[in-house]
Copies of this chain bind each other. A is one copy, B any other.
Amino acid sequence: MDLRPLISNMPRWLSGAADAEGMVVSCRARLARNLSTQPFMPKASEADQAQVIIQVLEAAQRSSQLRAATFFQMNSLDGVASRLLVERRLISPALAEGKGQRGVLFSQDESLSIMINEEDHLRIQAILPGMKLAEAWSQANTLDDELGASLEYAHESRWGYLTACPTNTGTGLRLSVLIHLPALVLAEDMERVMRALAQMAFTVRGFYGEGTNALGNLFQISNQTTLGRSEEEIVASLSRLIGQLVEYEKDAQETLLAEARSQIEDKIWRAYGILAHARILTSQEFMNMLSALRLGYTLGLLKEVPASFMNHLMILTQPSHLQAGAGRVLEPEERDVRRAELVRQRLAELEAARGAGAA
């Protein structure tokens, strides 16, 4: 399968920073749903699973939003292709690595998608750039309503939506926000923040890497509770929390600037210099340099590289994207060279487009 059209496409959730500071990269709403007409995944035969796929595709055909969606049967994809979809956040590693009849359906701009036969029959996902949590929820909700008109969902009035794993039962709603918190990490404040979030029943994970060692200082924050609260309450409480985190981060950034402005400027511009000129870039170093650029953008010290550009680069430099671009499997050393080449080329294009006058 030729994945190049997909690589050249820029997913909508990466298309810009809706918040002025560029701290919040994206918001995602995910709904777990199951059909009452078929056995749940742990007990479903391949024939049952195929039936689920057919029913979901038919329902999508009748929806306004996924009528022209792209569908991939997972069995038809090789390793690079399915990992590429993981890197684009269209599917989970579990769907990529699973067995049986599985598929994914997604809109052209990739903001709406459905994983079919992952842990549940359906995982409806809406993902948007910047701090648009309510909108992401609303889009997922609208699609859910449209699909619900054709599909018979497993639902009980007492429990709400039934799911394969009880942690999703109820609303079936998992919201998550991808946020960049470099100053809190530098100030060694993240451990405290993460403990507080856990007490408030929110989960924090590194976007890459784990916990406070999150690569690129990117954290994914999501709700733990799906039961006993309305969807609107869940959206409101996570929104409030993100608002507070943004304020904490801003305070930490102001302190940094007041105490060590030259060092911060140096860190940011060195990162730019290295990204623009290095011939070898591991993904770890790339993510660290990108975090410095992102901080520069947030602080207004390096406005030349827009947040959307950084987000796009973050996706394109992942292993399977590099390999799909090359049209073959690459050794890690080759990927580091290709990654540096890609980053260099894109930054040179950006600079050329801006005209002369880079600092």
B262 A270 Cβ-Cβ under 8 A? no
Kindly identify which residue among B340, B344, B352, B359 contacts A277, using a CB–CB cutoff of 8 Å.
B359
In whole angstroms, what is the CA distance A263 to B358 when docked?
26
Counting CB contacts under 8 A, is A208 at the interface?
A: no
Bound Cα distance from A340 to B268, whole angstroms: 14
Complexed CA–CA distance, A276 and B270 (Å): 9
- The answer to whether B265 and A270 have CB atoms under 8 Å apart is no
Q: Does A326 contact B (CB under 8 A)?
A: no
Q: Which residues of B contact A333 (CB under 8 A)?
A: 262
Q: How many residues of A contact B (CB 8 A)?
A: 24
The answer to whether A250 has its CB under 8 Å from any CB of chain B is no
Interface digits, A262-300 against B, CB 8 Å rule (1 contact, 0 not)?
A: 110110011011111111100000000000000000000
CB pair A262–B279 under 8 Å, yes or no, is yes
Per-residue 0/1 for A195-234: is the Cβ within 8 Å of any B Cβ (1 yes, 0 no)? 0000000000000000000000000000000000000000
Query: Is A337 part of the contact surface with B, judged by Cβ < 8 Å?
Result: yes
Q: Give the distance to chain B from A87, nearest Cβ to Cβ, in Å.
A: 24
Q: Which of B262, B263, B276, B280 contacts A273 (CB 8 A)?
A: B276
A94 / chain B contacts, CB cutoff of 8 Å:
none
CB distance from A73 to the nearest CB of B (A): 39
Q: Quick check: is A356 within 8 A (CB to CB) of the other chain? A: yes
Residues of B within 8 A of A278 (CB): 266, 269-270, 273
Bound Cα distance A266, B333 (Å): 13
CA distance A265 to B266 in the complex (A): 23
What B residues does A262 contact at CB under 8 A?
279-280, 333, 337
Alpha-carbon distance between A310 and B358 when the two chains are bound, in angstroms: 21
A269 and B265: CB pair below 8 A? no
Central interface residue in A265, A277, A356, by most chain B CB within 10 Å: A277
Tell me the bound Cα distance from A206 to B333 in angstroms: 36
Bound CA span A333–B261, Å:
13
With CB as the reference atom, state the residue of chain B lying closest to A333: B262
In the complex, the chain B residue whose C-beta lies closest to that of A336 is B262
Q: List chain B residues, Cβ under 8 A from A275.
A: 273
Q: For the complex, what is the distance from the CA of A312 to the CA of B157, rounded to whole Å?
A: 81
| Interface CB pairs A-B, < 8 A, 29 | A262-B279, A262-B280, A262-B333, A262-B337, A263-B280, A266-B279, A266-B280, A266-B340, A269-B278, A269-B279, A270-B274, A270-B277, A270-B278, A270-B279, A272-B273, A272-B277, A273-B273, A273-B274, A273-B275, A273-B277, A273-B278, A274-B274, A276-B277, A277-B359, A344-B359, A348-B358, A348-B359, A352-B356, A356-B356
Q: A266-B278, A273-B277 are in contact. List 19 more A-B contacts (CB 8 A).
A: A262-B279, A262-B280, A262-B337, A265-B279, A266-B279, A266-B280, A266-B340, A269-B279, A270-B273, A270-B274, A270-B279, A272-B273, A273-B273, A273-B274, A273-B276, A274-B274, A276-B277, A344-B359, A352-B356
